[in-house]
Structure 1
Amino acid sequence: MFMLIYEAPKYTLPPLLPFLDFPLVTYSEIRASYRNCCIYDSTPDRLNPESRLNSLSPTQMENQGTWMPPPYNLLTPPVKLSTAHVAKDPSVSSNFARLAKWSPDGSVFLAQCENRAFELFGMSLNTKENQITQSMSTLPQASSILDFRWYPTASAHDPSSFCFVASVRECPVKLLDASDGRLRASYKIVDHRERQIAPHSLAFDLTAQKLYCGFEDAIEIFDLSRPGEGTRMHTTPSNKSKDGLKGIISALAFSPSYSTDESFYAAGSFTPSTNNIAMFSDQQETPLMFLQFNPTKPHLLYAAYRGSGTGSIYSWDVRSNVDAPLEILQTPASTNANSKSNQKFRFDVDIAGRMLGVGDQLGNVSIFDLESTNSEVDSNMRDIGMDDAPLVRQPTLVYKAHDDAVGSVAFHPYMPAILTTSGSRHFTNEYDKEEDSSESSEEEDGDASRPSDRRECTVRRPNPSHPVTFDSSIK
């Protein structure tokens, strides 16, 4: 698992996002094979990172009245500052973090581990020599974890809002206290067989009053103030119908705009079809894995696929023709046949909408400069028609972050830091091992052959008799 640091432009702080007093954090990595987390620094002043970060303290920014997004240096790879460990589990041979997300205030981050547990990490700046990432608590779950989402205003400084929702297989959706894992509320999804359904995707609306849960052929909408059952919205008219959005709803994303004209959300299906996004179609017949709108440009939507679409991020402008993507962000893994994978690779866009980060199967992290891509796309739209082929862009910075697959990337909401997770499942062929051991044992026993006392005997089985009729009427 990892975290990064990069440059960003001026951006006026939205009225609903006040600054909180929390410790400053730099880049962290959570490494699967060694079960640890690492902190990386990528600020321009690499010799004295503390002075560089202190110069951008929230107090100074608040006094100036304008919030400045964190700076990022894309010219050089980041430098490791500290390391943290994922808890070991005797029941799991190789425990690693599959996904990690910053809390909305950036004070802590929550990691989803392979051993069916959540692990909460906090940052410490008590020592000047090193920046330590401490594991605060471990929250084990009853079954496999499908997805989780922080409450939009969650903060370690506010116990009432310090919570998150989790989707655990064959369990109701849980609203858990992030400090001790205590169950605050549950929201159940029951199918026609009276079975508990765990959604594959979770999303809060902009008011943080409703929870949207995506599962097979439907989206369940819950009122957070009323635990229990919700309102079901089917994405297809019927099971036999070819209309609508069919299959598992694997991704949900709300447009970050409070305007009534742009108040919508996108839903993506896991079904490999040409119409697996609710708002528009796509040419890639691969399962959709993740959707996200640009925070400062709500009309731009980004989507990631798996399988043959691994390593490419597709971008659309929902104000115009969405039959074809406007732009394709390609990582080096998109041209490598060995990097194609069915693993989820979640990307993230920083709070200013300038940087997009995504990992790949080879352990690399690619950073795209969205400001330069957006300006070139706008100029290109004026010169050519929308029917032309989409622009293909390469990352601004690519660096080796892990020795294993990078499953997720998450930018810190206020600081120049990014969190990434690393790890994948590695399988060994036990059948080949058994064959090798049996062949070696036969070779050892071949030289010392012994006479056997066993006798071969042949048992003759009687021929099956013909069927007998008991009803004389059919003779």
Structure 2
Amino acid sequence: MSGTYFPLHTTLDQDGLKNSLAQNLQPPWKRYDCVDIQYERQNLQSTKGLNFFQALKWSPSGGSIVVLTENQKLTHWPISTTKTDTNEPSLTFDNSGKNAITPSECIYSFTWHPSRNNQKLDSDLIAFSTRDYPIQIYSLSKQQRVSSFYVVDHCERFIGSHCMDFSPDGEYLIAGGTNNFYLFNVHLGQKSPVSTTPTSGHEIPMWEPTLDGVQSSICLNPQDPRTMALGTFNNTVGIYDIHRSRPCQLKFSLANGTGVTHMRWSSDGYGLYVGSRRSTQIEVWDIRYAQDMLYEIKGHNGDTNQRIVFDTLGHEGLVSGGTDGCVSIWKGSQLVEKENVTNQRNITVAAVEKHPFDSSLFALCYGRRCDIMDDEDGFSSIEYWETPFSSLQLLGMENGLA
């Protein structure tokens, strides 16, 4: 597999690039394996029981995937490697090692613990947050909860977190709330937060920047894990130092969308990619000079309330799904690759994540709720109902982008 993914299109203008992409009927993508959820019309009595993939996360070592489905289950799929007749490695989902977590309520967010298990090369722990319950850390091998952490409001009700992340050493769990974010010490096992940092309210002086509303996305800087980007459903982003008494370093508001849904840092730790609801652009900000954004990645096709997860590739590279059923790759603001992965059905690709150690290997999922339509809407054909409406896939780029 080549390590070069981004060609220089120095002789093509934007129209020429679009025509080149349209004529490239066989992009250098290889599908290793996929798991489909298929609906059959004759078995449909109502919309209850329909299901689709919503989100996924690679394990820290890349040996497995945890995926969230609409029925509010977290399914853990190990990835196995086998040899084909041509002696090329083939990756498959290991159904024999699959197991599922069924929380009591709606799942708000989930994330892997970064530390490895003593007997295995991969992490065994996953944290998830649900509505009206404490945050739980769950052991996949033991199939049981090993720890829990809670935040309560003034009425002593549990507060669920819409975004969480672990520090790289696994010692702390950072959880977003409403006008506060919380720090839990995982090693000590203390149930309540070891620190609560207000982002808005009377505790913050008038001259300090504030971040109002429900916090929706957390992203730790890869070059400085103390530095954290915190996004809200109010479409604002704040830069914080999680261990300082005056944590808010910078605040800016997005020009597009109605609420931050996903963020990624660039590899150098200076650029921040921000996606939002109901937006067809991904905004790129330089936290050193945040008076104006650096540039917009247009054609993102994110005009939906659904959270669309994207990932970075090398320097100024980005890979993302969208509502058009395609996986797209940009170099800076320039589109360099586009591939429809939904059999031309234009179902929203909700998540695309690269392998933690192999930038040519991706996991993605797409799906949508399927409601029973009248014939006038054009969705009642047998062919439509017998086609998979949701899929979890492993894709690779064998030869880079030609």
Q: Is the 8 A contact 2:312 2:318 kept in 1?
A: yes
Give the superposition deviation at 1:110.
0.7
Residue equivalent to 1:289: 261
1:428-471 Cα offsets, whole Å, 9 max, x none, are 579x99xxxxxxxxxxxxxxxxxxxxxxxxxxxxxxxxxxxxxx
- For 1:428 and 1:218, locate their aligned partners in 2 and report how far apart those are by CA, in whole Å: 42
Residue equivalent to 2:394: none
Residue equivalent to 1:314: 283
1:325 paired residue among 282, 290, 293 = 293
Residue equivalent to 2:303: 340
Q: Is the 8 A contact 1:84 1:134 kept in 2?
A: no
2:351 is the alignment partner of 1:408 = yes
Residues 157-166 or 132-141, more deviating = 157-166
Give the superposition deviation at 1:94.
2.0
Give the superposition deviation at 1:142.
1.0
Structure with the greater alpha carbon radius of gyration: 1
Q: Is the 8 A contact 2:275 2:283 kept in 1?
A: yes
Residue equivalent to 2:334: 394
Residue equivalent to 1:115: 71
Q: Is the 8 A contact 1:108 1:156 kept in 2?
A: no
Residue equivalent to 1:134: 94
For residues 202-281 of structure 1, the aligned pairs below 5 Å read 202-225=164-187, 226-230=189-193, 231-238=195-202, 244-258=210-224, 263-272=226-235, 275-278=236-239, 279-281=250-252
1:418 paired residue among 350, 362, 366 = 362
Residue equivalent to 1:349: 312
- For 2:318 and 2:119, locate their aligned partners in 1 and report how far apart those are by CA, in whole Å: 29
Residue equivalent to 1:70: none
Give 1:399's aligned amino acid: E
Higher relative contact order (CA 8 A, sep 6+): 2
- For 2:221 and 2:176, locate their aligned partners in 1 and report how far apart those are by CA, in whole Å: 17
2:261 is the alignment partner of 1:298 = no
Q: Is the 8 A contact 2:271 2:287 kept in 1?
A: yes
Give the superposition deviation at 1:98.
0.6
Give the superposition deviation at 1:227.
3.1
Q: Is the 8 A contact 2:63 2:122 kept in 1?
A: no
Q: Is the 8 A contact 1:108 1:121 kept in 2?
A: yes
- For 2:31 and 2:118, locate their aligned partners in 1 and report how far apart those are by CA, in whole Å: 26
Give 2:94's aligned amino acid: Q
Give the superposition deviation at 1:355.
3.3
TM-score by length of 1: 0.62
Q: Is the 8 A contact 1:92 1:115 kept in 2?
A: no
Give 2:158's aligned amino acid: Q
Q: Is the 8 A contact 1:137 1:180 kept in 2?
A: no
- For 1:401 and 1:161, locate their aligned partners in 2 and report how far apart those are by CA, in whole Å: 30
Distance verdict in 2 for CA 1:406–1:285, change over 3 Å: closer
Distance verdict in 2 for CA 1:169–1:396, change over 3 Å: same
Q: Is the 8 A contact 1:345 1:406 kept in 2?
A: yes
Identity %: 21
- For 2:259 and 2:148, locate their aligned partners in 1 and report how far apart those are by CA, in whole Å: 29
Q: Is the 8 A contact 1:290 1:305 kept in 2?
A: yes
Structure 1: runs of 5 or more not aligned: 10-73, 334-338, 374-392, 434-475
Give 1:265's aligned amino acid: M
For residues 81-92 of structure 1, the aligned pairs below 5 Å read 81-85=32-36, 92=48
Give the superposition deviation at 1:131.
4.2
2:105 paired residue among 136, 143, 148 = 143
Distance verdict in 2 for CA 1:257–1:177, change over 3 Å: same
- Which of the pair is proportionally richer in strand? 2
Q: Is the 8 A contact 2:51 2:369 kept in 1?
A: no
Give the superposition deviation at 1:203.
1.3
Query: What's the secondary structure of 1:395's corresponding residue?
Result: strand
TM-score by length of 2: 0.73
- For 1:161 and 1:248, locate their aligned partners in 2 and report how far apart those are by CA, in whole Å: 29
Give the superposition deviation at 1:86.
6.0
Distance verdict in 2 for CA 1:277–1:83, change over 3 Å: same
Q: Is the 8 A contact 1:105 1:155 kept in 2?
A: no
Give 1:83's aligned amino acid: C
Structure 2: runs of 5 or more not aligned: 6-24, 240-249, 378-402
Q: Is the 8 A contact 2:61 2:123 kept in 1?
A: no
Distance verdict in 2 for CA 1:92–1:101, change over 3 Å: farther
Distance verdict in 2 for CA 1:276–1:255, change over 3 Å: closer
1:189 paired residue among 123, 141, 151 = 151
- For 2:353 and 2:117, locate their aligned partners in 1 and report how far apart those are by CA, in whole Å: 17
- For 2:365 and 2:205, locate their aligned partners in 1 and report how far apart those are by CA, in whole Å: 39
1:362-403 Cα offsets, whole Å, 9 max, x none, are 21111123xxx3xxxxxxxxxxxxxxxxxxx23210110123
- For 2:122 and 2:330, locate their aligned partners in 1 and report how far apart those are by CA, in whole Å: 37
Q: Is the 8 A contact 1:347 1:359 kept in 2?
A: yes
Query: What's the secondary structure of 1:331's corresponding residue?
Result: strand
Query: What's the secondary structure of 2:251's corresponding residue?
Result: coil
- For 2:196 and 2:4, locate their aligned partners in 1 and report how far apart those are by CA, in whole Å: 40
- For 2:124 and 2:316, locate their aligned partners in 1 and report how far apart those are by CA, in whole Å: 28
- Which of the pair is proportionally richer in helix? 1
